[in-house]
Amino acid sequence: MSETSDKIPILPTGEHMGAPVAIRGGRFRRMMKLPYLNVALIVGCGMFVSTYAQTGVLGLYPFRFLLKDKLHEGPLRVALFMQLANMPWNLKIISGIVSDAIPIFGTRRRHYLMFSSLLAGLMWLAVAIVPPTFMPMVMMAMAMNVALVFVSTISGGILVEGGQTFGVTGKLSSVRVLAMNIASLGVPLGAVLAAYSLGVSALTAAIPLFLLFFIALFMYKEKPTARRDPRVWLDIKKQLKVAAKAKSLWFAAGLLFLVQFAPGFQTPLMFYQTDTLHFSEKFIGLLTLIDAIAGAVGALFYVYFCKRFKLRQLLYGSVFFTGTLSLLYLGYDGKNSAIAIEAVYMLVVSLVQLPLYDLAARATPKGSEAVGYSVIMSVWNWGLFVSDLVGSALYQDYHVTFKNLVWVNAGTTLLVLFAVPFLPKMLVDTKEVEGQDLAVTEPQAESGTA
């Protein structure tokens, strides 16, 4: 499309992906130098908002401090609240199936994006006005996260369609990562907002969601020609068969679960920071900002290591350093040590945990990309769910001190080293080479596909 063209740029979609989509407004289009920037705007806004407004991002510390200080909940109940609120993200694949199979007003993208962003904003405001008790708040938080899951999924679908149309999947993926990284700064912002009422945090989260609603309403157009597509359900059924027979997928899922299963100390850490060390919300916000910066820097180094070492070697290093570095928290005794430990720990752990994501991507068999990867990441999230609850229960009910919990976490993580040798050679005994297909082909799985 030329720079001065008055035609609306239509994005042809792939099978099951829905009707063509486009951006409205000739004047706005002429301001854009490249067609894919139209799509990048929607993708960037959608990914930013769906990350920023999560209970585990902007809402992490406002909810934690409300539960701890106002409702006087213990570590176990605080951890349970956060895990239940975030549960819809374990079922993200369902939102993709629903949006592809069941259009709203003839569209598979536009109206889902509009309604889910509006609903998420309203649910955030509802969380702040419901009775401040455990169950009403967690139900509203879960509903809000369901809406955010749809915002994220629809934004991802637009990324795929626009990337394939313009041949810029890599550039749009970079927009996605950039938007999500910027949105992660919502964690330290939320720690600062935790000093105020939950209504302030709710409004801060809801405003970007309402803005996304208006962006989708006035700037995003999709022809209302989509119809229900039963082939989506058949395709998922085929993928489930492939995934069920993929041994490499279940080996990888098992390892990821074991790594995350180690009794965690993230919720107990917050109680330790406030009750024992008497850190303020603002100082905890500073620590989370340091975490975000250090984590981003650490992730940059993985490109160097993944091309020089086999994945099995990287996995040994991942498990070993994840376990041993947690011992740094034994010296977590004041503000200076907290800053140093958080920076070093997040810098290295963000690097050494990337092989686990690499393993997840490699273990997903061909023919089951959507379902297979979702299964692995769901197992990962369930491991985190159990880890936080077990760690919080040990801290609260069995009176395990914070530093003893650090020892338990390190020891159980290091035990996973004994599981690494059982991973299939074809999965982990290769280096990453640009242009080389590292996806796993499962003969048994393919033979079972209808």
Q: What is the mean pLDDT of residues 242-256?
A: 84
Q: Give me the CATH number covering residue 256.
A: 1.20.1250.20
Decide which of 199, 229, 259 is a domain's last residue.
229
Whether residue 72 is found in the same domain as residue 40: yes
Whether residue 256 is found in the same domain as residue 350: yes
Residue with tokens 């490499």: 248
pLDDT above 50: residue 450: no
Whether residue 210 is found in the same domain as residue 300: no
Looking at residue 286, its pLDDT comes to 93
Contact yes or no for 277/406 (Cβ under 8 A) = no
Instruction: Average the pLDDT over each of 11-25, 28-42, 232-246, 346-360 and give the range with the smallest value.
Output: 11-25
What percentage of the chain has pLDDT greater than the value 90? 43
C-alpha to C-alpha distance for 353 and 359, rounded to whole angstroms: 10
Contact yes or no for 208/49 (Cβ under 8 A) = yes
C-alpha to C-alpha distance for 424 and 276, rounded to whole angstroms: 46
Helix (H, G, I), strand (E, B) or coil at 138: helix
Domain that residue 31 falls in: 1-229
Whether residue 182 is found in the same domain as residue 147: yes
Residue with tokens 């109680």: 271
Q: What is the mean pLDDT of residues 145-161?
A: 87
What is the enclosing helix (H) or strand (E) of 23?
strand 21-23
Higher pLDDT, 411 or 10: 411
Cβ burial, residue 346 (10 Å; 0-12/13-18/19+) = buried
What are the beta bridge partners of residue 221? 22
What is the CA angle 115-80-375, rounded to 5? 65
- Give the CB-side neighbour count of residue 348, counting CA atoms within 13 A: 16
pLDDT above 60: residue 391: yes
Fill in the amino acid letter for 352.
V
pLDDT above 90: residue 10: no
Whether residue 281 is found in the same domain as residue 403: yes
Please, what is the average pLDDT of the chain?
81
Question: Per-residue DSSP letters for 191-223?
Answer: HHHTTS-HHHHHHHHHHHHHHHHHHHHHHEEE-
Decide which of 168, 194, 229 is a domain's last residue.
229
Give Cα 365 distance to the centre of its chain.
Answer: 21
Looking at residue 59, its pLDDT comes to 96
Decide which of 172, 194, 229 is a domain's last residue.
229
Residue with tokens 């009794």: 263
Whether residue 445 is found in the same domain as residue 370: yes
